[in-house]
Amino acid sequence: MTEKGAFIKRTIEEAVPNATVHIYDPDGEHFQAFVISEDFVGIPKLKQHRMVMNTLKDRFATNEVHALGLKTFTPEKWEVAKSNYM
């Protein structure tokens, strides 16, 4: 994982402390984040995504982070979906 990918992972983990974060970094510019957290239980997907993306908004504004695909899951939904991604 690149330094930028590690930074994204740390930033998300600080914003959602109970999260498990997987970052896929194929080229150092286009990142994919999978965020799994109990904190997402009962929260609509849009709000889950805002919880994560708001932590990186300054990096997007300066173009330090160019692209981030985001998928959020509760632990239960991750157990069902993870075979599609791993």
pLDDT single digits (tens) 25-77: 888 778 899 999 999 999 999 999 999 998 888 877 787 777 889 999 999 99
Give the pLDDT confidence score for residue 65 in this predicted structure: 78
Cα(8)–Cα(33) distance, rounded to whole angstroms?
A: 9
Cα(12)–Cα(79) distance, rounded to whole angstroms?
A: 20
Cα(37)–Cα(66) distance, rounded to whole angstroms?
A: 25
Domain boundaries 3-84, CATH class: alpha beta
Give the pLDDT confidence score for residue 72 in this predicted structure: 96
Hey, which residues does 24 pair with through a beta bridge? 32
pLDDT digits (tens, 9 = 90+) for 75-86: 999 999 988 877
**4-30: average pLDDT:** 89
